[in-house]
Homo-oligomer: A and B are copies of this chain.
Amino acid sequence: MSDPVLVEVTRGALVESRHRGAIAVIDARGKARAAIGDVTQAVFPRSAVKALQALPLVESGAADRYGFGAAEVALACASHSGEPRHVETAMRMLEAAGCAAADLECGAHMPFDRDSADALVRAGMPPSALHNNCSGKHAGFVCVACHAGVPVDGYVHPDHPIQREVTAALADMTGTKLGPDVRGVDGCSIPAYAIPLDRLAHAFARLVTGESLSPTRAKAAARLVAACFAEPLMVAGTGRLDSEAMALFGERVFVKGGAEGVYCAGFPDLGLGVAVKCDDGAGRASEIVIAAAIEAFLKPTEEENTTFADRLIAPILTRAGREVGEVRPVAGLVEALREGRAIS
């Protein structure tokens, strides 16, 4: 059985490409509200679960000890674009714990943000680990290690106390057992665990509601989510979906993407969590699907929709700027999500 087509890419009147995938929508009590495709498949959530991986930073007291505000906490949940605000905040986090960029074990890559990347090229500078989109998450790990008095060195390894704690938080939030059998290595060198899609959706419903979490965990979850709502540009960056959606819809949706076609979202007022996996790993498709979920559950106003329209149906342009196609949800996807129906 293959997952259904969720997103179509058109050129003129024809469909040029198709993206298949699965979507789980689960409420805070764990009840399925919609299930499209195989929602029991285990997927690597990649960066979509950074907020869950940041729970120890708050719960341990490290965030308080180092005086972190919303910007630092949001950056710990971020896949940022390597803009100056991101790089400076990551540096500040490390310095607060008496550490430096050299302590980061995430590796380096060019900033996603074009202007920031161009600035490095013009300066003849290679990117540093601070530019890595995961540097805020890693700075958080370093701070947790320093606060706990354990060696920072090797903090990315599965057996390091920090990763044990991070994995325990992830296992608890998703209600799963996360062992070596479902483990890979993420692009930033920390362990990646494959988790059933419906368990991920449930975790996000719990994250944004606090439902069935310990008081400490519920408080930490609320602080992480509030930080991302307060500093949406810290979570991704200029022009990116996660930042724009949280800026546009205020506290009505927490949204976070991951590599290889993953997206997760939580709707605090509705008590719903959503998890998306596009089978082929395409980010262009998972962005459309999560936008369809937002359309389905938030029912944006006309004004909000004007701003958000290009997120739900993304135009395809020629190099000369003419619109010649679009990336769009398949017909009926928004309604199917809203009504909890399957799609054909």
Contact = CB atoms under 8 A, between A and B. Distances in A.
Contacts of A320: 105-107, 189
B9 A281 contact: yes
A39 B107 CA distance: 43
Given A107-B320, A132-B319, A261 B189 contact: no
A17 B105 contact: no
Interface string A145-189: 000000000000000000000000000000000000111111111
B14 A187 contact: no
A118 interface: yes
Given A18-B279, A280-B282, A185 B11 contact: yes
A137 B182 CA distance: 48
A210 interface: no
A318 B186 contact: yes
Tally of this chain's copies: 2
Contacts of A132: 319
Is chain A's binding surface mostly helix, strand, loop or mixed?
A: loop
A135 to B, nearest CB: 10
Contacts of A322: 185, 189
Nearest to A280: B280
For A42, A281, A322, the residue with the greatest tally of chain B CB atoms inside 10 Å of its CB is: A281
A12 interface: yes
Interface in A182-207: 182-189, 192, 194
A296 interface: no
A129 to B, nearest CB: 8
Given A9-B281, A320-B105, A14 B194 contact: yes
A274 interface: no
Contacts of A281: 9, 16-17, 282
For A20, A183, A261, A320, the residue with the greatest tally of chain B CB atoms inside 10 Å of its CB is: A320
A109 interface: yes
Contacts of A121: 118, 121-122
Given A17-B260, A280-B18, A280-B19, A12 B319 contact: no
Interface in A1-45: 2, 9, 11-14, 16-20, 42-44
Interface in A205-260: 260
A101 interface: no
A285 interface: yes
Contacts of A43: 16
For A16, A107, A118, A281, the residue with the greatest tally of chain B CB atoms inside 10 Å of its CB is: A16
22 contacts: A2-B2, A11-B44, A12-B183, A13-B184, A14-B182, A14-B184, A14-B194, A16-B281, A19-B280, A20-B20, A106-B319, A107-B318, A107-B320, A118-B121, A122-B122, A185-B322, A185-B324, A186-B324, A187-B319, A188-B318, A280-B280, A282-B282
